[in-house]
Amino acid sequence: IITLFLSLFLLGCNESKDKAVSSRTQSKQAILLDSLQKLDSLVLKYIAKNATESMEYAKRAGKLAQVINTPTARAKAYNILGNAYSVISIDSGFYFYHKALIVSDSFNLTDRKGKVLYNLGMLNRSSGNYQNCIMFLDSALRFSISANDFTTMSNSLNSIGGFYYDIGEKGIARKMFDSAYAVAKSKSLYLQMGSSLGNLARFE
C-alpha cells in the first residue's frame, strides 16, 4: 500500500511539472506572437513615410518567425516582408508574397491566405497587371468570406469596386462599395468604413 501511495504521489508530481512546463511554453509562444503582430503594425505605420525603418521592422519579424517556428508565424512574416519590400522593389514584394502563399497553401492556413491574395492583387495593380489584379482580389474575397476575415473582405470589396469604377462599370462599382461599407459597419471597422464612404462620395 505504501509503495502504491508513493507511486501515485510521484506520478502526480510529474504531471504537475509537465503542465507547468506546457503552460510556460504556451505563454512564451503567445508573447512572441504578440510581438510579431506589433512588428506588423510598425511596418504598416512606417511603410509610407520611412521605408528604411519599415524594412528594419520587417527583418526583425522574419527573425522572430524563425524563433517561433510555426507555419502561421512564417506565413505572417513573409507577408510582412512582402509589405516592406513592395515599396522598394516590386519583384521582391512578389517574391515574399508568393512564399507566404506557398506556406498558407501547404498548411491550409485559410485565415492567412485571404490577406496574402489581397496583397498580391494590390501589387499587381501597382505594376499595371490589371487582369491578375482582379483575379487575386476575387480569390481574396472568396477566402476572406470562408475565414470570416471581415477586414480583408471589406478591403477586397473596396478594391474590386475601384477596379470596376476605373473601367467605367459604375453600377457594379457602387454595389461593391456599398457592400464594403456594410461589412465594415457590421464589425465597427472604422478605417474600412472611411475608405468605403470615400469611394461612395465619388457618386455624389
Q: What is the pLDDT of residue 21?
A: 43
pLDDT at residue 30 in the model = 87
Closest CA to 194 of 166, 163, 155: 155
pLDDT of residue 26: 64
Q: What is the pLDDT of residue 6?
A: 46
* Nearest-5° Cα angle at 38, 33 to 39: 95
Q: How far apart are CA 1 and CA 33, in angstroms?
A: 48
Closest CA to 68 of 111, 24, 23, 29: 29
Q: What does the pLDDT read at residue 204?
A: 85
% of the chain exceeding 70 in pLDDT: 87
Residues 192, 151 contacting (CB under 8 angstroms): yes
pLDDT tens-digit readout, 147-196? 999 999 999 999 999 999 999 999 999 999 999 999 999 999 999 999 99
Phi, psi of 166 (to 5 degrees): -65, -30
Q: Which residues of the chain have pLDDT under 50?
A: 4-6, 8-9, 15-21
